[in-house]
Amino acid sequence: MNSNEMIEILSDNTNNDWLFSEADKIRHENVGDEVHLRGLIEFSNICKRQCKYCGLRSANKEVERYRILKDELLTYAQKAVKMGYRTLVLQSGEDDFYDTDKMVEIIREIKKLDVALTLSIGEKTYDEYKAFKNAGVDRYLLRIETTDKKLYGNMHPNASYENRKQCLYDLKRLGYETGTGCLVGLPNQTIESLADDILFFKELDADMVGIGPFIPHEQTPLADAKKGDFWLALKVMALIRINLPDINIPATTAMETLNPNGRIIALKSGANVVMPNVTSKEYRAKYEIYPNKICINENPEQCRGCIEGKIKAIGRTISGEKGFRQRKNNS
């Protein structure tokens, strides 16, 4: 689709049912009915950056900060593998405590478990990304957040849009399965820019795209901003499935925060991945990117059981594979 077609769909709600069922059909034809579960380890909530929307921004002094060190991190990884996860995702704020050597040590240990490994630890240099790749990392998640340069600048003090984009191209060049995505509903974000975001995902040849509605956090400069719209975020997600048919698309936690059935609705509107948390309860509430995050009081076993039950209830199955992108035709 070109930009105008997408803008038209995003601005008009009369064809939403068509859009969601079309995305569901394209999901079924291209990536099948299996849902890939990725075990998420949020290992540090310490962040040097100042993203205006994020509760973990360094200026927020009300967060109780934590770091999970290697040995404890490995216990979560082992437990997740025993529970059936074939992919682990290590996510953190931009925390320089974990330098390249420390990360490489962690990566080597985790890769002994025969899992696919995804990192989501922010903007790094080409050489750092290369060291992680050589140590065995398979995938990397780095949302562009928005392709509207002016909005990007407003939302990210002291950060560079060009550098973020460069990071994504570096990751692709190094052979990572590259995940990106955007927020939907940032203050002053336009429908036109959302269409541009989708064109960017296509241009990058993103292997995974995660979409979530913006949820205002009390302890940020955007405390009083309007929250993003669940249905608009879902429409962006559905358009991504239609335009990038064979990629992996997660039903995100932010979707479920705004709608109690959000992940299942997403799985029926184009998504094929869920990323349940596999760390213990003591850390969950502290990784408060946005308020009212789900699964704060659950443990890894409860989340696994919960999401498996919901997925099976809609007639889908849980994949036992690592879930790499399988390219179709000439994509």
Does 145 bind ligand 5AD (CB under 6 A)? Our answer is yes
Question: Taking CB within 5 to 8 Å according to partner kind, which of ligand 5AD, ligand FES, none is near residue 214?
Answer: ligand 5AD
Nearer to ligand FES, 160 or 302 (CB): 302
Bridge partner residues of 34 (DSSP): 317
Q: Tell me how far apart the alpha carbons of residues 49 and 66 are, in angstroms, rounded to a whole number.
A: 16
Q: Minimum CB separation from ligand FES for residue 276, in Å?
A: 5
Q: Minimum CB separation from ligand 5AD for residue 61, in Å?
A: 17
Q: Tell me how far apart the alpha carbons of residues 165 and 206 are, in angstroms, rounded to a whole number.
A: 12
Nearer to ligand FES, 86 or 263 (CB): 263
Interface ranges with ligand FES (CB under 6 A):
276, 295, 298, 302-303, 306-307
Bridge partner residues of 183 (DSSP): 212
**In this structure, what are the phi and psi dihedrals at residue 268, rounded to the nearest 5 degrees?**
-95, 5
Question: Taking CB within 5 to 8 Å according to partner kind, which of ligand FES, ligand 5AD, none is near residue 179?
Answer: none
Does 197 bind ligand 5AD (CB under 6 A)? Our answer is no
Does 289 bind ligand 5AD (CB under 6 A)? Our answer is yes
Stretch in the footprint of ligand 5AD (CB under 6 A) among 64-72, 122-130, 214-222, 264-272: 214-222
Q: Tell me how far apart the alpha carbons of residues 190 and 193 are, in angstroms, rounded to a whole number.
A: 5
Does 215 bind ligand 5AD (CB under 6 A)? Our answer is yes
Nearer to ligand 5AD, 247 or 289 (CB): 289
Q: Tell me how far apart the alpha carbons of residues 26 and 23 are, in angstroms, rounded to a whole number.
A: 5
285 class by beta-carbon count within 10 Å (0-12 exposed, 13-18 middle, 19+ buried): exposed
Does 132 bind ligand 5AD (CB under 6 A)? Our answer is no
Q: Which one-letter amino acid corresponds to residue 319?
A: S
Question: Taking CB within 5 to 8 Å according to partner kind, which of ligand FES, ligand 5AD, none is near residue 250?
Answer: none
Question: Taking CB within 5 to 8 Å according to partner kind, which of ligand FES, ligand 5AD, none is near residue 273?
Answer: none
Question: Taking CB within 5 to 8 Å according to partner kind, which of ligand FES, ligand 5AD, none is near residue 290?
Answer: ligand 5AD
Nearer to ligand FES, 19 or 258 (CB): 258
List the structure tokens of 243. Answer: 């335009």
Nearer to ligand FES, 157 or 291 (CB): 291
- Write out the binding residues for ligand 5AD, residues 235-274 only, by CB under 6 A: 254
286 class by beta-carbon count within 10 Å (0-12 exposed, 13-18 middle, 19+ buried): middle
> With contact defined as beta carbons under 8 Å apart, do 297 and 281 qualify?
yes
Does 121 bind ligand 5AD (CB under 6 A)? Our answer is no
Stretch in the footprint of ligand 5AD (CB under 6 A) among 15-23, 189-197, 207-215, 271-279: 207-215
Residue ranges of E strands in the chain: 34-44, 87-92, 116-120, 139-141, 177-184, 208-213, 273-274, 317-318
Does 63 bind ligand 5AD (CB under 6 A)? Our answer is no
Q: Which long-range contacts (CB under 8 A, 24 or more apart) does 222-230 make?
A: 222/52, 222/53, 222/187, 225/187, 226/185, 226/187, 227/185, 227/258, 228/183, 228/184, 228/185, 228/186, 228/258, 229/184, 229/185, 230/255, 230/258, 230/259, 230/262
Q: Give 328's Cβ-side CA count (13 Å radius).
A: 13
Binding mask 157-196 for ligand 5AD (x = CB under 6 A): --------------------------x-------------
